[in-house]
Amino acid sequence: MVKVDRLCFSYQRESPTFLNFSWSIAQGERWSVIGPSGCGKTTLLYLLAGLYLPASGEINIDGRPLPGPRMSTGLILQDYGLLPWTTAFDNISLGLKIRRLDSRKVAQVTREWLSRLNIDAVSDHYPAELSGGQRQRVAIARTLALEPDLLLMDEPFASLDALTREDLQILTIRLWQDVPSTIILVTHNIEEAVFLGKRIMVLKHPPNTEPVIIENPSSGYPEYRDTPHFTEKCKEVRRLVECNARSQGRGKAELS
pLDDT tens, N- to C-terminus, the chain (256 residues):
899 999 999 998 788 999 999 999 999 999 999 998 889 999 999 999 999 999 999 999 999 999 999 999 999 988 878 999 999 999 999 999 998 889 999 999 999 999 989 999 999 999 999 999 999 999 999 999 999 999 999 998 888 888 888 888 998 998 888 877 899 999 999 999 999 999 999 999 899 999 999 999 999 888 899 999 999 999 999 999 988 766 655 444 333 2
- Write the pLDDT tens digit of every residue in 97-135: 998 889 999 999 999 999 989 999 999 999 999 999 999
* Domain region containing 143: 81-147
* 177 and 139 in a common domain: no
**Among 27, 75, 84, which residue's Cα sits nearest to residue 47?**
75
162 and 132 co-located in one domain: no
- Whether residue 15 contacts residue 206, with contact meaning beta carbons closer than 8 Å, is answered with yes
Domain count, the chain: 2
- The answer to whether residues 141 and 159 belong to one domain is no
Is residue 13 a part of any domain in this protein?
A: no
Q: Confirm whether 61 is domain-assigned.
A: no
Same structural domain for residues 43 and 161?
yes
Residue 58 lies in a domain: no
Find the DSSP H helices in the chain: 41-48, 88-98, 103-116, 132-144, 162-178, 190-196, 228-255
Query: 127 and 167: one domain?
Result: no
Q: Is the residue at 168 inside a domain?
A: yes
CB 2 within 8 A of CB 24: yes
In a domain, 225, yes or no: yes
Task: Say if residue 45 is in the same domain as residue 158.
Answer: yes
CATH number at residue 179: 3.40.50.300
Judge whether 110 lies within some domain.
Answer: yes
Query: Crossing angle for the helix pair 132-144 and 88-98, nearest 10 degrees?
Result: 20
Do residue 110 and residue 180 come from a single domain? no
Query: Does residue 15 fall inside a structural domain?
Result: no
pLDDT averaged over every residue in the chain: 90
Judge if 193 and 97 occupy the same domain: no
d(CA 202, CA 229): 19
* DSSP character string of 97-157: HHTT--HHHHHHHHHHHHHHTT-GGGTT--GGGS-HHHHHHHHHHHHHTT--SEEEEESTT
Residues 158 and 138 in one domain: no
Using alpha carbons only, give the angle 226, 242, 238 rounded to the nearest 5 degrees: 10
Q: 89 and 160: one domain?
A: no
Same domain membership, residue 205 and residue 104: no
Judgement on whether residues 98 and 169 belong to the same structural domain of the protein:
no
pTM: 0.91
Last residue of a domain, one of 147, 175, 204: 147
pLDDT of residue 254: 35
2, part of any domain? no
Report the distance separating Cα 231 and Cα 254, nearest Å: 35
